[in-house]
Amino acid sequence: MLLALREAVLAAEGAPLRLSELADELGTDPEVVRSMLAHAVGQGWLPDVQVRDVAAGCGVTVCQPLPTRAACRRCPMAGPPGR
């Protein structure tokens, strides 16, 4: 997982990287990716990386809220968890 995160960060070349998309590529939960990335940053392995929440697109027509995502759990547009 750490190698995949490092490769993704290097491939982004300083551009923002969406953890949900990376999690989909890795076949894991975005919260797992977030915690691993926060750990790597905290250890100094990825010194130029900042982890932050960006609500861009939340609630707009391109937003696809999923009840399984932590950021979407309280969103009224996410619907029931069994969807």
At residue 55, the pLDDT reads: 56
At residue 83, the pLDDT reads: 44
At residue 19, the pLDDT reads: 81
Q: Is the pLDDT of residue 4 over 70?
A: yes
Distance (Å) of CA 31 to CA 16, 60, 63: 17, 23, 19
Q: For the full predicted model, state whether its pTM sits above 0.85.
A: no
Helices marked H in the chain: 2-12, 19-26, 30-43
**Per residue in 11-60, pLDDT tens?**
888 777 888 888 888 888 888 888 888 888 889 888 888 777 665 556 55
Pull the structure tokens for residue 71: 């950021």
